[in-house]
């Protein structure tokens, strides 16, 4: 948001320049991201945390500046034509019982008749204040007000409407003005909407209300969506002469739900959702009234109407000086603590013997302060984090490593060494993605989702990985390699579980290590052969990633349905599936609008970590020479190397140290549906040099076994 530096200086006599002010505000958590303009037109670009609605205005920032420099803060004192005494209904007990008449506070209309206000939902509207002005004139705002609003990118409308916007940016309290002559029945009622009711809001949109909506009504119809936006039919126009000014305190929860339900986020809802100052309703009402009277003239009718259905006093917090010193250090004595908190508006009453503790009364505008640690944080930020010595906190015992830290680090180092960059995705996904990519487990619903696309906790890392790969491809990064390690969330036997997973993702160009003219497959070898080659390259990355673990992985065809049926596999260790990998199914790729084929691997870290890391053992190099023999066979496509390896292992050849594929060839003289494979066997003894006839005998056994598997030996 934007705030004017000159406007801030209206309330505190600062001697520092704007750049120093920006730096000092940022150091206490009121972040200034940038500065624009010069002189009286200088504007701060502010980034105010969601827990600090009290600082989302000029007076709130001035209050912080006054505390930083220990300067007096000028009070805001509206000057109305006559001393106004609040006509207050303060009957919380009756209000909580239902529709008691004690919830209404009578005022006087322009014609001298009562102007009652009835709050039927005191739990959602604990306080409602109002004033009535008659015989005023609607005109453009004075130059100073219009200019200040323009500096904040606010469009001036009229003196009455601008007064509410000005007060919003001055003290942070949203208010609203109604054309009193358009309020049927001469009364205001705060209630829940009735089934079938509609409201045309100030933006001109006709909105269908539900019984969950809280509305401000006249005697017949809704005239405003409470805490969000006023109604079109009672808005201020150039014909308006009589005005009702409204300033209320709305429950943050119901405002947030209505704002989301109607997709209507406003400056008012932004503040009410985070908690407004309960004590600001009357002062804000008076400020708006003063501005309208000063610019448009008119008469103030009666006293302010202040309907208090229930009190919102914040409970005091006990602050222990020893706890402050334990957390922040010994350099803070009771006197300094007292002075720092007083500068921030806290009231402190000493309790106990000496300076052992204080009873701290929280100011009404600081709804974010609820616990002792919150007050300690206030002391720390105002005192200055740079003033605390750089010391390690006291602790007993030794540093304990997390259970899987070593295995996490091993996987991370391997993935980085293979050229994959670590990435983080959102932990929220859509219902559609949860159904498509989950293993059938019950999902965890969010009570207050950000959107329909982020309405459940993720059940898989795949949706996030696909989104990140698509993001890279859409920004001309065709060779993307990413990995993520994190938790997924699901229900198991009625309890929430968070199993750990890892996911690798790579585009086709990244797997092949080339950048063709287009993102399509290199069809010079045939589309099937090129895709199969890319899959084997990606599978090699997964093999290298799993290699440090204690059991050699065995791979078999097939994976979950969102993988390509012919280019996917499962990795098993000790008969348990630890990973699934392969090319994403074309239908899924099209749905996710991926510009290339992509390859994914999902690793179940719970199962993998149960296997543990392989114990590295030293074995001396053999003293006797090794002997290698090559075998060239033609096999059908459905025969895989794993079958060959298991069959040769079953021969029990004790001197066979290794059997590995060297080359695979398709096409030309090799018939369709078949491939040629060159296998290399290495024989070695630890006791003597092998004889030629022994190697020939063992080679013959290997040839016989591979022939029985369906292979045809090539000359």
CATH number at residue 57: 3.30.56.10
Residues 433 and 363 reside in one and the same domain: no
CATH number at residue 591: 3.30.930.10
Pair (428, 460) in one structural domain = yes
Q: Count other Cβ atoms within 10 Å, centred on residue 400.
A: 7
**What local confidence, expressed as pLDDT, does residue 3 receive?**
96
Rounded CA separation 661/682 (Å): 12
**397 Cβ neighbours under 8 A, 6+ residues apart:** none
Yes or no: say if 5 and 21 are a contact pair by the CB < 8 Å rule. yes
In angstroms and rounded to an integer, the radius of gyration of the C-alpha atoms of the chain is 37
Longest dimension (CA), the chain: 123
Q: How far apart are CA 649 and CA 633, in angstroms?
A: 18
Distance CA 155, CA 436 (A): 47
Note whether residue 621 is domain-resident: no
Q: What are phi and psi of 663, to 5 degrees?
A: -155, 145
Is 182 part of a structural domain of the chain?
yes
Cα(141)–Cα(145) distance, integer angstroms: 6
304 in the same domain as 323: no
Say what the pLDDT of residue 521 is: 39
Which of 453, 589, 597 shows the shortest CA–CA distance to 520? 597
Query: Which residue, 582, 611, 640, sits at the end of a domain?
Result: 611
Do 411 and 378 fall within a single domain? no
pLDDT for 528 equals 66
**3-class SS letters over 391-447:** CCCCCCCCCCCCCCHHHHHHHHHHHHHCCCEECCCCCEECHHHHHHHCCCCECCECC
Residues found in the chain? 715
Does residue 81 fall inside a structural domain?
no
Tokens of 184: 């049927």
Q: Which domain holds residue 323?
A: 318-387
Bridge partners for 604 per DSSP: 501
DSSP states along 566-606: EEEEEEEETTEEEEEEEEEPHHHHHHTT-SS-EEEEEEEHH
Is the Cβ–Cβ distance between 170 and 57 less than 8 Å? yes
Q: Are residues 683 and 633 in the same domain?
A: yes
Q: Count CA atoms closer than 13 A to 705's CA, side-chain side.
A: 18
Residues 597-628: tens digit of each pLDDT: 999 999 999 999 999 998 888 878 889 999 99
Residues 439 and 502 grouped into a single domain = yes
pTM exceeds 0.75, yes or no: no
Residue 74 has a pLDDT of 95
478 and 593 assigned to the same domain = yes
In a domain, 396, yes or no: no
Domain contains 394? no
The residue assigned the tokens 């543990």 is 612
Tell me, yes or no, whether 37 and 127 share the same domain.
Answer: no
Co-location of 190 and 237 in the same domain: yes
Tally of domains in the chain: 5
* CATH at residue 654: 3.30.70.380
The CA distance from 540 to 715, in Å, is 29
Say if 527 falls within a structural domain. Answer: yes
pLDDT in tens, 102-127: 344 443 332 333 468 999 999 999 99
399 in any annotated domain: no
- Tell me the average confidence (pLDDT) per consecutive run of 10 residues in the chain, 715 residues long: 95 95 94 93 93 94 96 92 52 33 37 67 93 95 95 95 96 96 92 95 94 95 96 95 95 94 94 93 95 94 88 88 88 90 93 77 93 95 88 72 90 95 94 84 83 89 95 92 95 89 93 50 54 88 93 84 90 92 92 92 94 86 92 93 92 93 90 94 94 95 94 89
Q: Do 414 and 377 share a domain, yes or no?
A: no
218 in the same domain as 99: yes
Kind and range of the H or E run holding 214:
strand 214-217
Q: What is the CATH number of the domain that holds 206?
A: 3.50.40.10
Q: What CA–CA distances, in Å, run from 319 to 335, 342, 352, 354, 375?
A: 13, 14, 11, 13, 8
Identify whether 116 is part of a domain: yes
pLDDT at 86: 46
Residues 173, 222: one domain?
yes
Q: Give the residue from 559, 578, 611 where a domain finishes.
A: 611
């Amino acid at each position: 948001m934007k705030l004017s530096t000159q406007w801030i200086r209206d309330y505190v006599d600062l001697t520092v320049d704007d750049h120093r002010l920006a730096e000092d505000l940022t150091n206490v958590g009121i972040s200034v991201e940038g500065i624009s303009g010069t002189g009286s037109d200088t504007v701060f670009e502010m980034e105010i945390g969601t827990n600090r609605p009290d600082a989302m205005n000029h007076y709130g920032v001035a209050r912080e500046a006054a505390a930083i420099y220990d300067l007096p803060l000028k009070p805001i004192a509206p000057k109305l034509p006559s001393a106004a005494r609040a006509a207050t209904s303060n009957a919380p007990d009756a209000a909580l019982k239902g529709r008691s008449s004690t919830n209404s506070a009578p005022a006087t209309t322009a014609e001298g008749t009562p102007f009652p206000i009835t709050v039927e939902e005191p739990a959602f509207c604990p306080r409602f204040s109002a004033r009535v002005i008659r015989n005023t004139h609607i005109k453009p705002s004075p130059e100073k007000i219009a200019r200040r609003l323009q500096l904040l990118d606010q469009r001036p409308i009229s003196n009455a409407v601008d007064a509410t916007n000005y007060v919003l940016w001055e003290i942070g309290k949203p208010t609203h003005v109604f054309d009193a002559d358009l309020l049927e029945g001469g009364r205001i009622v705060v209630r829940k909407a009735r089934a079938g009711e509609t409201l045309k809001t100030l933006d001109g949109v006709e909105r269908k209300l539900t019984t969950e909506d809280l509305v401000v009504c006249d005697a017949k119809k809704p005239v405003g969506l409470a805490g969000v936006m006023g109604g079109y039919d009672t808005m201020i126009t150039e014909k308006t002469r009589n005005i009702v000014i409204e300033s209320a305190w709305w429950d943050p929860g119901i405002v947030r739900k209505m704002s989301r339900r109607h997709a209507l986020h406003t400056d008012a809802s932004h503040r009410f959702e985070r908690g407004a100052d309960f004590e600001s309703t009357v002062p804000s009402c008076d400020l708006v009234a003063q501005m309208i009277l000063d610019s448009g003239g008119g008469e103030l009718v009666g006293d302010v109407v202040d309907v208090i259905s229930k009190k919102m006093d914040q409970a005091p917090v006990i602050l222990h000086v020893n706890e402050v010193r334990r957390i922040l250090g010994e350099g803070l004595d009771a006197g300094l603590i007292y002075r720092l908190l007083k500068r921030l508006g806290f009231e402190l009453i000493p309790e106990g013997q000496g300076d052992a503790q204080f009873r701290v009364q929280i100011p009404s505008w600081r709804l974010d302060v609820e616990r002792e640690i919150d007050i300690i944080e206030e002391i720390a930020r105002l005192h200055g984090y740079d003033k605390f010595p750089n010391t390690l906190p006291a602790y007993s015992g030794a540093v304990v490593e997390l259970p899987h830290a070593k295995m996490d680090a091993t996987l991370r180092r391997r993935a980085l060494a293979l050229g994959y960059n670590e990435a983080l995705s959102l932990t929220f996904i859509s219902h559609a993605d949860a159904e498509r990519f989950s293993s059938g487990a019950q999902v965890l619903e969010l009570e207050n989702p950000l959107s329909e696309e982020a309405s459940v906790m993720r059940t898989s890392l795949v949706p996030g990985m696909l989104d990140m790969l698509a993001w890279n491809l859409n920004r001309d990064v065709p060779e993307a390699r990413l990995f993520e390690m994190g938790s997924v969330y699901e229900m198991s036997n009625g309890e929430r579980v968070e199993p750990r997973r890892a996911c690798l993702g790579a585009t086709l160009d990244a797997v092949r290590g080339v950048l063709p003219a287009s993102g399509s497959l290199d069809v010079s070898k045939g589309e099937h052969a090129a895709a199969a080659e890319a899959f084997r390259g990606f599978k090699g990355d997964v093999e290298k990633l799993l290699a440090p673990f204690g059991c050699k992985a065995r791979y078999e065809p097939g994976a979950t349905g969102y993988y390509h049926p012919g280019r996917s596999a499962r990795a098993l260790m000790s008969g348990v599936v630890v990973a699934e990998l392969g090319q994403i199914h074309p239908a899924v790729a099209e749905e996710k609008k991926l510009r290339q084929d992509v390859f994914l691997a999902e690793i179940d870290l719970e199962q993998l970590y149960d296997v543990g890391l392989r114990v590295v053992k030293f074995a001396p190099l053999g003293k006797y020479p090794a002997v290698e023999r090559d075998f060239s066979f033609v096999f059908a496509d459905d025969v895989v190397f794993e079958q060959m390896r298991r069959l040769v292992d079953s021969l029990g050849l004790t001197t066979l140290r290794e059997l590995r594929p060297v080359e695979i060839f398709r096409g030309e003289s090799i018939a369709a549906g078949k491939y040629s494979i060159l296998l290399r066997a290495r024989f070695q003894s630890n006791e003597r040099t092998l004889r030629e006839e022994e190697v020939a005998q063992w080679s013959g056994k290997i040839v016989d076994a591979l022939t029985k598997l369906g292979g045809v030996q090539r000359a």
